[in-house]
Amino acid sequence: MAIDAHAPPPIATGPAAWLRKHFFATWYDTIFSLVFAILIYLALKAFIGWAFVDAIWRVENKDLCTHDAGACWAVIESRGRLILFGLYPYEEQWRSTLACLAVIVTIALSCLPSFWSIRRLPILWVAGFTTFVLLMRGGFAGLELVTSEQWGGLSLTIFIFSGVFVIGMPLAVLFALARRSSLPVIAKSFGFFIDIVRSLPLLTLLFAAAVVVPLLVPDWLQGNKLMRVVIAFAIFFAAYQAEIIRAGLQSTSQGQEEAAVALGMPYWSLVIDILLPQAFRNTLPSTINQAVITFKETSIVTIIGFFEVMASGNAAIGTGEWGNQYVEVYVFLALIYFVFVFGLSRYGAWLETRMRLGHA
Amino acid sequence: MSQIFASQKFRRIAVQGGFILGVVALIASTILVGKSNIADQGMATGFGFLEQTTGWPVNFSIIEVTGRSTYARVLWAGLLNTMLVGFLTLIFATVLGLLLALMRVSSNTLMKLVGASYVEVFRNVPVILQVFFWYAILTHLPSPKQAYTLGEAFYLSNRGIMMPAPALSGSDMAWLLVSVILAVVFLGLTRERLRLGPRWAIATGAVFIVFVVVLLTGREPDSALISTPQLKGLRFVGGITLKPEFTALLVGLTLFGASYIGEIIRGGLLSVDRGKLEAGRALGFSTFQINRLIRIPLAFRAMLPSLTNQYIWLMKGTTVGIAVGYPDYFAIVSTSINQSGQTMELLALLMGGFILINYSIGFLMNMLNDRIKLKGRS
C-alpha cells in the first residue's frame, strides 16, 4: 500500500508568524514569555526609577541625600576625582588623565590590523607605556615629581594592566618557546613551573611578592612593592598566555618549520618571521580574552594594599559622610570596568567571526 | 660529519647543564639570603609552631576553633572554610549556569534576551567588586531588632540570614556524613547491576532514614525537632545563621561563576551536531528524549574540559573572601604569617593546600571524563 504523500508544511511569513515563532510557539512558551515580560518590565521600571527619575544629580548640601527612592549621583561629583585619581596631587591630575589616554590610544591602535606585526606591536606598547610612566612620574621639563606611592585610582589600575602586558607578553613568548624546546631538561622545567603557577591563586603570588620576596632577595634587588607586584602579576599572566601561544605554535604546520630549517634560516628568524606571527594570529581571540581577564583581575591588588580604582571606590564611601551611597559608587565602578571589558570582549567576538570567515 | 654531530650534542648538553646549574644557584642563593635575613630578624624556622596555640579568634568555622586552638587546627579550619564555600559555589553556579544556558539556547526571544543580559552584566564586572557590593548590601540591612522576617522563621538582618535548622548535634552530623559517604559508595558499586532509578531511590531513602533516626534519638528529650531562630536581647539564638561575610562571598562567586559556566554549557549544547538531533527526530524521539539521550550526553563530553578549568578557577577565586573578612585558607595563612612570623613554612603550606585542592578537582573531573567518553571508537 502506498503511503499518501503529506502536503508540504505551510510556510508562514509576516509579523504574526514571527511573533508566534519567537514568543508563543507552544503553550509553555506563552507562559514564559508573559512571565519574563512582566519581570523585565518590573526590573526596568525599578532601575530607571532609581537611577534616573527619582535620582538626585546635584546637591548643595550632602545631608539632602537622605531619601531612599532614588540614587544620589552627587556622590560621584563629590568623590569622582578621588575614585579616578586616588591621592595624585590635585593640580597635576591633568597628567594622570593624559597618561591614561596614552594607554587607551595604545590599546585602540593595537586593535587595528595595520599594527599587527611582530615589530610594530612591541614598539607601540613600549612607547605607550613609557609615555604613561613619564607623564605620571614627571620630574623633568618642569613637571613636578610624583612617586608611585602617590599614584592611585583608575590610573593605577591602568598602570598595573599595561605593565603586566608589557612585561608579561615577552615572558609568555619565552615560556612557550622554552616549553616546546627540544632540550628535555628545559622543556620539563618550564612545563613544571608553568603548571605550578597556573594552579595557584593570583592573590597568593601577589602576596608572596609583596611580603615574602623582601626576605629572600638581597636588598639591592628588591625594588619597590608596586614593581614586585607587577612583576609577579606579569609572571602569572605569562603562565596563562604561554599556553595560549603554545596552542598557536602547535597549530602551524610542521612543514613550515622544516622548510625554514632546510633553507638554513637561523632559529630566531624562524621564530620571529614564521612561527610567532601565525601563532598570534591564530590565537587572537583567546589572547584578547586573557587581556580581559587580566584587566578584571587587577582589582585583586586592592587586597594587598594598593589604592587602585576598586580601593579608591571603597575609600570614597568609607568616610561616613557618603557611607549610604555605596550602591551608587559600586555601580559607577562597575560601569568603569564594564566599558573596558565589554568593549574588548565585543572586539574579540567580532575578530573571531571575521577569522571564521577567513579574513584575518 | 661525526664531528658536527658531536659538537651539536655537546652544545645541547652544555646548555642544559648550564640551565640546571643556574637554577640550583638561584635556589641556593635564595635559601642562603633567606636564612640570613630570617636569622637577623630573630624569627624561628621549622614546623614546630603548628603545635603552638594561636591566641587569636576566627570568626567563622565549621569546626570548633578558639584562641587556644593550635595553628594546625586553625589552618585546618581555614582549609575547610575554603572547601565549604568553594563546593557550594560550584554546585549553585552550575545549577544557575545550566538554567542560563537553557534560556539562551531556547527559541523564546525574551528568555534569550534575559539570559544574554545576565551573562554580559555579571561576567564583565570583577568578582571582587561583586563581593564588596553584596557585602555592603548585607551589612546595611536593619539591626536584629528591626529585622525583616518571613513567617517568624526566616530573618534578614545586618548580622546575617537566620533560618530554622534541624536540631542536630556534632555526632549526629558525623553519622549523617558517614551515611552519605556510604550511599555514594553504594551508587558507585551497583553501577552495573541496577538501573539509575532504583539506585538513587535506595541511596537517598537510606540517607533519609538515617537522618530521621539521628534526629529522633540524638536529642535531649522534650527539645524541639527543628530549632528556629529567636530574638534574645540584641541577637538571635537557635537555627542557623549565614553570616554576611560568608553569604556575600557565596552569592558574589556564584552569580559571577554562573555567567561563565552558563556560556560553557551553552557552547557544549551548540556543539552537538544538528544531524544527530535531526536523526533523533526522524526516529520519532520526543523533544525530551532527544535532550536526555542525545543532546545532553554529547554536550557534556564536549564541555567537560572547560568546565574543569572553570571549577578550578572558582576554587582559586574563593581567596577574594579575605576582602570582606571571610576566614578562608588564604586569610588564615596570612594572619598566621603576621602573628607567628613563620613566613616560609606558612607560604609552603598555602601553596601546598591550593595545589592539593586543584589537583583533586582535576583528578575527579578526569575520572568523570574517562567514564563518559566514547569507548571503543573515536
pLDDT value of position B181: 86
- The 3-state DSSP class for residue A308 equals strand
With cut-offs at 50, 70 and 90, classify the pLDDT of residue A317: confident
- A223-275 tens-digit pLDDT: 788 999 999 999 999 999 999 999 998 888 888 889 998 999 998 888 888 88
How large is the average pLDDT for residues B101-110? 88
Per-residue pLDDT at B157 exceeds 60: yes
Contacts across the A-B interface (CB distance below 8 Å) = 135
Pull the grid cell for residue B118: 545576565
Q: Indicate the fold that domain A92-356 takes in CATH.
A: MetI-like fold (1.10.3720)
- Residues A106-152 pLDDT 10s: 988 888 888 888 888 889 999 999 999 888 888 887 788 888 888 88
Asked, for residue B174, whether it belongs to a domain, the answer is: no
Judge if B312 and B359 occupy the same domain: yes
CB nearest B343 (choices: A196, A215, A299): A215
For residue B147, pLDDT over 90 is answered with: no
| Contacting A residues, span 132-191, partner chain B, CB-CB under 8 Å | 183-186, 189
Residue A218 with chain B: CB contacts under 8 Å: 33
The answer to whether residue B264 is domain-embedded is: yes
- Do residues B109 and B27 both lie within one domain? no
- CATH assignment of the domain containing B302: 1.10.3720.10
Q: Is A22 on the interface with B (CB under 8 A)?
A: yes
Residues of chain B with pLDDT > 90: what percent?
34
Contact B128 A299 (CB under 8 A): yes
Range of the domain at B20: 2-42
Q: Is residue B24 part of a domain?
A: yes
- Judgement on whether residues B32 and B75 belong to the same structural domain of the protein: no
Q: Does the structure show a pLDDT above 80 at B377? A: no
Residue B56, domain member (yes or no):
no
Min CA distance, A180 vs chain B (Å)? 14
Distance CA A139, CA A147 (A): 9
Looking at the fold, whether B280 and B335 belong to one and the same domain comes out as yes
Residue (of A228, A223, A104) closest to A155 by Cα position: A104
Which among A32, A199, A337 has CB closest to B129? Answer: A337
Average pLDDT score over chain B: 85
pLDDT digits (tens, 9 = 90+) for B20-31: 999 999 989 888
The answer, yes or no, to whether residue B173 has pLDDT greater than 80, is: no
Q: What pLDDT, in 10s, does the model give residues B38-93?
A: 777 777 677 778 888 887 888 888 788 887 888 899 999 999 999 999 999 999 99
Model pLDDT for residues A260-314, shown as the tens digit of each residue? 989 999 988 888 888 888 888 888 888 999 999 999 999 999 999 888 899 888 8
Query: Locate cell 613550515: which residue?
Result: A256
pLDDT level of residue B131 (50, 70, 90 thresholds):
very high
Using alpha carbons, list the distances in angstroms from residue B96 to B2, B93, B254, B318: 65, 5, 8, 18
Name which of A186, A200, A338 is nearest B19 (Cβ-Cβ): A186
User: Which pLDDT score is estimated for A231?
Assistant: 95
Tell whether B7 and B109 lie within a shared domain.
no
Dist. CA B4–CA A349, nearest whole Å? 50
ipTM of the complex: 0.89
Nearest CA in chain A to B8: A183
Question: Can you give the pTM of this predicted structure?
Answer: 0.88
Asked if A50 has any chain B CB less than 8 Å from its own CB, the reply is no
Q: What are phi and psi of B227, to 5 degrees?
A: -90, 125
B79 and B33 co-located in one domain:
no
Tell whether B363 and B249 lie within a shared domain. Answer: yes
Compute the distance between CA of residue B117 and CA of residue B98 in angstroms, rounded to an integer: 15
Highest mean pLDDT among A214-223, A324-333, B174-183, B209-218: A324-333
What dihedral do alpha carbons B265, A290, B333, B42 form, nearest 10°? 170
